[in-house]
Amino acid sequence: MRRIWFIDDKQGNRDAWVKGFGAEIRAHCELKAFDNWPDLRYEFENKTYPDVLFLDFFIGDHYGHEIIEWIDVHCPNDQRPVIVAHSSMEAANIGMCEKGANCRLEKWQN
């Protein structure tokens, strides 16, 4: 089962993200949302890695580019997830891509 994870400190963004995937994807993929970096880091430290990680820029007291740098140091290359920079600020998405995110996807703004 593929793991698709999302980290964002805002509940509404996490809820919208999970609901945005169709039933077939939800049935065949583990969708997991995190509201803080320590909980996500715990998974990595216990050798549980996502296949894809949607990464917001502002995560409480942490920033997306710091999380990317940590993943690049602590995650084995063959387990490194595809990292999607996922901020409402295009400059933040570009900055995360410069730090190692694989691509960017701007958040939908209501």
Identify whether 108 is part of a domain: no
Identify whether 32 is part of a domain: yes
Cβ(59)–Cβ(66) below 8 Å: no
For a pLDDT cut of 70, what percent of the chain falls above it?
98
For a pLDDT cut of 90, what percent of the chain falls above it?
81
The pLDDT value given to residue 18? 84
Identify whether 42 is part of a domain: yes
Structural domains counted in the chain:
1
Nearest-angstrom CA–CA distance, 32 and 2: 11
Nearest-angstrom CA–CA distance, 90 and 3: 26
pLDDT band, residue 110 (cuts 50/70/90):
low
The pLDDT value given to residue 17? 87
Identify whether 54 is part of a domain: yes
User: Dihedral through CA 11, CA 45, CA 67, CA 40, nearest 10?
Assistant: 0
Reported as a single tens digit per residue, the pLDDT across 11-36 is 999 988 888 888 899 899 999 999 99
The pLDDT value given to residue 78? 95
The pLDDT value given to residue 50? 98
